[in-house]
Amino acid sequence: MQLRLMKKTALFILLIISGVVASAQTYPERTGWNHFVWGAEVGGSVDMTSNSMSTVNLDAFFGYKNSFIDALAVGASVNMVLSNSVRSFPVYMLLRTNFCNRPTFAFMDLRGGVVINNFGASRDQAGFYISPGVGFRLASGKTFTSYITVSYVYNGMRPYSRGDIHYDIDGLHMACMRLGISF
Using the predicted structure, report yes or no on whether residue 30 has a pLDDT greater than 50.
no
Higher pLDDT: 27 or 165? It is: 165
**pLDDT tens across 104-137, in order?**
899 999 999 999 999 877 678 999 999 999 999 9
- Write phi, then psi, for 168 (nearest 5 degrees): -90, 75
**pLDDT tens across 40-50, in order?**
999 999 999 98
**pLDDT tens across 57-105, in order?**
999 999 999 989 999 999 999 999 998 889 999 999 999 999 988 878 9
Higher pLDDT: 114 or 162? It is: 114
Using the predicted structure, report yes or no on whether residue 166 has a pLDDT greater than 90.
no
Does residue 76 come out as left (phi exceeding 0), alpha (psi in the -120 to 50 range) or beta?
beta
How would residue 17 be classed by pLDDT, with cut points 50, 70 and 90?
low
**Looking at domain 2-23+34-182, which CATH architecture does it have?**
Beta Barrel (2.40)
Q: Where are the domains of the chain?
A: 2-23+34-182
DSSP secondary-structure letter at 122?
T
Which distant-in-sequence residues (6+ apart) come within 8 Å of 125 by Cβ? 116, 117, 119, 157, 158, 160
